[in-house]
Amino acid sequence: MIVYFSGTGNSKYVAERLAAATNETAVSIEGLSADITLNDGERFGLVVPTYFWELPAIVREFLDKLTIKNAVGHYIYFVATYGTTSGCIGEDAKRMFKSRGIELNGLFGVKMPDNWTPVFDLSDPEKVAGQNAAAENYINKAAELILKCENGHFMANKAPFFISKLTGALYEKERRARKFYVEDSCIGCGLCAEKCPSQAIEMKEKKPVWTKECTLCLRCLHCCPKFAIQYGNGKTKQHGQYTNPNVKV
Ligand SMILES: Cc1cc2nc3c(=O)[nH]c(=O)nc-3n(C[C@H](O)[C@H](O)[C@H](O)COP(=O)(O)O)c2cc1C
Ligand code: SF4
Ligand code: SF4
């Protein structure tokens, strides 16, 4: 079984590729029960994006409740997708699994287009296609090791865990969702509210309003049919919208 969270499709794509390689099923974390029982010989994988060098809030909430009744004797692995640096996410995941009494056997990273467009520019389709093509090597390598149930921390670009104190604080601040704004091109379709995994958007007078802190996946920004949602310093407009081209978000 492969559980994934994916804001804009990268992690979903990786989960589906690994599911095909291992002949197992990929399921979204959204609405999923955290009480898991594995079949004989079944592996358990968790595939998620890196946010501020750490786990997304929605994934932390899931891990806080996770029970795998028969984890012992099964291969348990974690995969982070990331754009530039996976930072402390591996260590973070290891600790959270451990707090639930589960030992992580394998940790992997897959470098992909960086959907944090307040900083990164995804407006050049050729460049983005190149980044997605390069990700195939990471996925193939992870699939090979997962098939062999190989033990080890195989992620690149790790950072010492103490740094997560700083990056964690930054994430908590950003995910208050105060920096979103909506341009006049909004047609009031409500798709952003419908697709939000944190139910953080309400439609008021046909315009989205952020009513609570969120996971900050940027799905609302990247999926708006009018590209009317922007974030922060205005760079998001010039940096373009992105969803993984191989899956439906
Ligand atoms: C709020 C936020 C923070 C991010 N922080 C990081 C980061 O610290 N390091 C990194 O390499 N990529 C970072 N990214 C990029 C994503 O981890 C990367 O694009 C990921 O593959 C997106 O996966 P998804 O399409 O499944 O949502 C961040 C993205 C978002 C939205
Ligand atoms: S998805 Fe875009 S156009 Fe539709 S309501 Fe949200 S902001 Fe407006
Ligand atoms: S408000 Fe937007 S960025 Fe925040 S969790 Fe919802 S879809 Fe993701």
In a domain, residue 29? The reply is: yes
Residue nearest to atom 15 of ligand 1 (CA): 114
Ligand 1 site, residue 89, Cβ cutoff 6 A: no
- Residue of 173, 217, 249 to mutate, ligand 3, most atoms within 8 A of C-beta: 217
Structure tokens at 87: 């930072």
Read off the pLDDT of residues 128-152 as tens digits, 9 standing for 90 and up.
999 999 999 999 999 999 999 999 9
Please report, for the domain that includes residue 217, its CATH number: 3.30.70.20
Residue 99: CATH number of its domain: 3.40.50.360
Q: Which tokens sit at 5? A: 């969270």
Give the number of domains in the chain.
2
Domain that residue 187 falls in: 176-239
pLDDT one-digit tens code per residue, 65-84: 999 999 999 999 999 999 99
**Token pair recorded at residue 161:** 């865990």
Q: Which ligand 2 atom minimizes the distance to the CA of 229?
A: 7
Confirm whether 246 is domain-assigned: no
Domain identity same for 19 and 71: yes
Report CA-CA distances (Å) from 104 to 47, 78, 142. 13, 7, 15
Are 95 and 59 within one domain? Answer: yes
Tell me: do 11 and 53 sit in the same domain: yes
In a domain, 171, yes or no: no
Going by alpha carbons, the residue nearest to atom 8 of ligand 3 is: 217
Q: Does residue 97 sit in helix, strand or coil?
A: helix
Q: pLDDT class for 243, splitting at 50, 70, 90? A: very high
* 141 is a domain residue: yes
Q: Is the pTM of this model over 0.85?
A: yes
Same domain, 151 and 212: no
Q: How far apart are CA 87 and CA 165, in angstroms?
A: 12
